[in-house]
Structure 1
């Protein structure tokens, strides 16, 4: 990872060719990061998606700690086919989900997830 992107509510480390973008959030802050091929989108707010539909039948589900906070990382069992993402309870109200679909370089996505800082 060669640069840090400040996405206002949190920061992530990404390869040099990744850039950030913003989206319209209705009850949250939304946007994403991309290298032009793979795209990860985020939702930061009260109702961020917790990956409850990504079950152990189709995904690996790993509980971990990122920046001192509990996190859930999901990735498809069939590499590159399906949702890969991280969900975090940031504080008593706010949550963060950062995810992508059919991501070719899953290792880079996981490194980005693990680099999240608040």
Structure 2
């Protein structure tokens, strides 16, 4: 009898959850996403960026699309997954335990100087929210590259924002936009892709010196410190911040 009741509850839940092929498209101008029919757009003004959100009166999501990263309790333990959402590298974070908490996603769309963060506080429908995140598309998104997000992709990690990583590892020699001991990082990153920067900082012996690297070393008379303990995802967050 006990298992029969559980089965009935699961059947009821599956019937009341809209199938994804019935989801609506919500257009926010800069991007679109899909959500069940009971979700609606929330409009409000951002301080120095484009902000807004959506809600179904159970959970609410807020987004920020602008120059600066959104900081969520730097250093707090969370379950973190590095993902690709319609061709764009993304960092997705969920609470460590089963208690409702912040479910957030940060990414930087291709061909774009702005950063995008979307999040919900005290999320009750975590699986649904993650499915909504995976539908987000920007102008240059590649919808053919959107792998499934599975539970084993998440690891418990101390998340550190790009700004804090920059201050901890780079600020002694670099600023984002002006010269210090080394060149402005935003200028360097315009000439380098993420894969090259990751190899350069983590395992420099794996790449050959080119004319630009030789010119920087000659001009500034210094070689960049190696950071083998930084992950490529953390380096990407530093690049996003410096841009």
Runs of 4+ off more than 4 Å: none
1:24-68 Cα distance to aligned partner (Å, 9 max, x none):
11211101010011000000011131546264x2x1110011121
- The answer for the alignment partner of 1:31 in structure 2 is 52
Unmatched 5+ stretches in structure 1: none
- The answer for the alignment partner of 2:117 in structure 1 is 97
TM-score (norm 1): 0.90
Question: 2: CA distance between counterparts of 1:53 and 1:82?
Answer: 15
Aligned: 1:71 with 2:90: yes
TM-score (norm 2): 0.45
Unmatched 5+ stretches in structure 2: 1-19, 139-243
Question: 1: CA distance between counterparts of 2:102 and 2:75?
Answer: 8
Note the aligned Cα RMSD (angstroms). 1.6
Q: Secondary structure at the match of 1:77?
A: coil
Q: Select the structure with the greater relative contact order (CA < 8 A; seq sep ≥ 6).
A: 1
1:72-109 Cα distance to aligned partner (Å, 9 max, x none):
00000123422111000124521110001111000010
Is the alpha carbon distance of 1:112 and 1:85 closer, same or farther for their aligned partners in structure 2, counting shifts above 3 Å?
same
| Structure with greater Cα Rg | 2
Is the alpha carbon distance of 1:42 and 1:65 closer, same or farther for their aligned partners in structure 2, counting shifts above 3 Å?
same
Q: Is the 8 A contact 1:54 1:74 kept in 2?
A: no
Q: Is the 8 A contact 1:20 1:33 kept in 2?
A: yes
- Residue 34 (structure 2) aligned to one of 13, 27, 33: 13
